[in-house]
Amino acid sequence: MKKIVIIDDEYFFRQALIKYVRSFKDEFTVVGDAGNGKLGIELIEQYHPEIILIDISMPQMTGFDVISYIQKQALQTRFIIISGYDKFEYAQKAIQMGVQDFLLKPVTVESLHKSLRQTSERIDQEVKKDQNLEVLDKKKRNYQNYMRHFAASQFVRKDKDQEGMQKLASEVGYRLDAKRHVAILYRVNHLPGNWKKTDYELYYFTVENVFCELLGEKNCCISYINFQKSLCLLVGICESPYDAEWIRSLLKKTIEVCDPEGDLGTTAVIGGFYTEANQLYDSYIEAFALERKRCFYEYSGVFYVEDATEEQQENGYLLQNDDFIQRLVAAMRQNQRSLVKEMLRTFADSLALLQPSREQFLLQINQVSSALLDFAMEYGVTETVEKNSKLFSSDYIEISSVSEIQTELIRYGEQILQQVHLSKNSSNSAIVRRTKEYIKAHYQDDELCLEQIADALDVNLQYMCFLFKKQTDTTIGAYILQTRMEMAGRLFQRTNYNVTEVAQRVGFFDVSYFSKCFKKYFGVSPKQYQNVSSNYLKTT
């Protein structure tokens, strides 16, 4: 439904037009009417109607004045002039100003409806045309972006096709004749957990736009996102300066704009500078190797490959693990969870300070995790913890940072302690279960006692009582009494035994003591309970 504003200084004529428009059902609606051009402009700016019915001769502002003003404001609306003057110059000016139609007063319902429908159809056609153009433009931009990303991914291949490279460069606007070529890897280490693929792609798109704006139009840049979720920027520098410090300054400014709080933990690595575009592969590999180490140790900032010092001799910097492992296992035997957690965290931190290669780091971690596994084997929980830990799966080689290893190592240690604890509890639960089973099998024995149960189960009497109380929150003696009372209640319900017979059948030699216990347990005497049960059975 299209909105209409009516502007005419004749009140009754405006009312007639409103009545006409309402008769067109759901096609149009009048959102406002005004008696002069000034008020009409206010309505137009407020409601943004698609169609305006307007007179020419009005006080304060003519219809042409209103049309001119609205067109200067670039408001998307169409005008239909309704005038009582059949002057050629009016019609001529209306055509020049792009007015949709010119109607003469008096206006009939049919002529107004026809004019409005034609105008409405033109609006729909123009909207559809704009939408089609927008779709085409979007497809064109998507294709251009795709080609830029594809070209960048091909330029860092070792086995490049030189002829194909020239065609791609020409299509995406990359200058193969640039003075220097360099690959840059820009990585976000702390992607928000709720980010999807489209989110970080949009973020990297912003990063590229900011960097390219700083780079300047005379230089060129294409990009793609590699399998490590890093943005790879391939830069062709056509004018000086060609040095890393300039690129470093641009990247720092880019990070300041795109990660002002530093929450994303951005790492940017600059590869070597080369004079030939086909050497972008070498620059990329250099940047990739340095990025892998910097991200593994979770360093943020901008780094240049030639600034990196030679790696330390790894074998001379290995931690001596024997003493640490002995102390760790001792803490685990004593179930000192907080201490174990702190020891594992400190071990990973200490190892990280030495900065061995990722592979050597993982080898050291493996020595400690193997010791934890040996501890787990003592308690028969190896299969459970191996199945649930990255340290013993194909995911181990995918661990990407020191903090991830630290988290996994601590989680693994805690999991072992928990499984060992559960294993012990399982053994303890078996003692309690067997105690209950023995009582249910021997509750009729009036000489049943704790010593008899402990001897039968071959367990320590004090330990048996402690476990039973801990797991059931009641004593063994109370459980024996409970079992006897429940069985007595069943006998009264299901048999005609008298009180003495029931007492003897549930392990009571003293009938009066049985009656006292029964009343305390059920709240009524055995005889009362028996009578109630008997009456209930008769009625059923």
Domain containing residue 497: CATH number? 1.10.10.60
Tell me, yes or no, whether 107 and 7 share the same domain: yes
Residue-level pLDDT at 400? 61
Strongest mean pLDDT among 85-99, 117-131, 291-305: 117-131
Residue-level pLDDT at 311? 44
Q: Are 251 and 270 in contact (CB under 8 A)?
A: yes
The helix or strand, by DSSP H or E, that contains position 182, with its residue range, turns out to be strand 180-188
User: Residues 267, 273, 278, 283: is their CA dihedral positive or negative?
Assistant: negative
Nearest to 443 by CA among 510, 494, 508: 508
Residue-level pLDDT at 350? 74
Q: Are 436 and 468 in contact (CB under 8 A)?
A: no
177-203 pLDDT per residue, tens: 999 999 999 999 887 878 888 888 889
Tell me, yes or no, whether 123 and 228 share the same domain: no
Confidence of residue 496 (pLDDT cuts 50, 70, 90): confident
Residue-level pLDDT at 318? 47
265-321 pLDDT per residue, tens: 899 999 999 999 989 999 998 888 788 777 777 678 899 988 764 444 343 344 556
Tell me, yes or no, whether 339 and 264 share the same domain: no
Q: Is the per-residue pLDDT at 142 higher than 80?
A: no
Confidence of residue 518 (pLDDT cuts 50, 70, 90): very high
Query: Does residue 122 or residue 347 have the better pLDDT?
Result: 122
Q: Which of 127, 147, 165 is the last residue of a domain?
A: 127
Q: Biggest alpha carbon distance in the chain?
A: 129
Q: Are 250 and 304 in contact (CB under 8 A)?
A: no
Asked, for residue 353, whether it belongs to a domain, the answer is: yes
Tell me, yes or no, whether 208 and 236 share the same domain: yes
Helix pair angle (337-354, 358-378), 10° resolution: 160
Residue 329 burial by Cβ neighbours in a 10 Å radius (0-12, 13-18, 19+): middle
Q: How far apart are CA 83 and CA 102, in angstroms?
A: 8
Tell me, yes or no, whether 349 and 262 share the same domain: no
Over residues 130-155, the mean pLDDT reads 76
Over residues 517-533, the mean pLDDT reads 88
Q: What percent of the chain has pLDDT over 90?
A: 38
pTM as predicted: 0.45
Tell me, yes or no, whether 173 and 253 share the same domain: yes
The CA angle 346-367-319, to the nearest 5 degrees, is 50
The helix or strand, by DSSP H or E, that contains position 418, with its residue range, turns out to be helix 402-442
363-410 pLDDT per residue, tens: 777 778 778 877 777 666 665 555 555 555 444 445 567 777 778 888
Q: How far is CA 99 from the centre of its chain?
A: 53
Tell me, yes or no, whether 12 and 36 share the same domain: yes
Asked, for residue 143, whether it belongs to a domain, the answer is: no
Query: Does residue 92 or residue 316 have the better pLDDT?
Result: 92
Query: Does residue 202 or residue 333 have the better pLDDT?
Result: 202
Over residues 146-150, the mean pLDDT reads 85
Tell me, yes or no, whether 161 and 287 share the same domain: yes
Q: What is the domain range of residue 163?
A: 156-307
**DSSP E strands, 189-309:** 220-225, 231-237, 266-270, 301-304
Average pLDDT of the residues of the chain: 83
403-449 pLDDT per residue, tens: 777 788 888 888 888 777 766 666 667 788 889 999 999 999 989 99
Residue-level pLDDT at 54? 93
Residue 74 burial by Cβ neighbours in a 10 Å radius (0-12, 13-18, 19+): exposed
Asked, for residue 429, whether it belongs to a domain, the answer is: no
Domain count, the chain: 4
Tell me, yes or no, whether 39 and 64 share the same domain: yes
Supply the DSSP string of 70-129, one letter for each residue: HHHTT---EEEEEES---HHHHHHHHHTT-SEEEESSPPHHHHHHHHHHHHHHHHHHHHH
Residue-level pLDDT at 313? 39
Look at residue 51 and give its three-state secondary structure.
Answer: strand
Query: Does residue 506 or residue 385 have the better pLDDT?
Result: 506
Tell me, yes or no, whether 303 and 318 share the same domain: no
Asked, for residue 334, whether it belongs to a domain, the answer is: yes
Residue-level pLDDT at 426? 62
Look at residue 276 and give its three-state secondary structure.
Answer: coil
Q: Are 107 and 81 in contact (CB under 8 A)?
A: no
Q: Are 443 and 483 in contact (CB under 8 A)?
A: yes
462-495 pLDDT per residue, tens: 878 988 888 888 999 999 999 999 999 999 888 8
Asked, for residue 455, whether it belongs to a domain, the answer is: yes
Residue-level pLDDT at 540? 47
- ω into 106 cis (within 30 of 0): yes
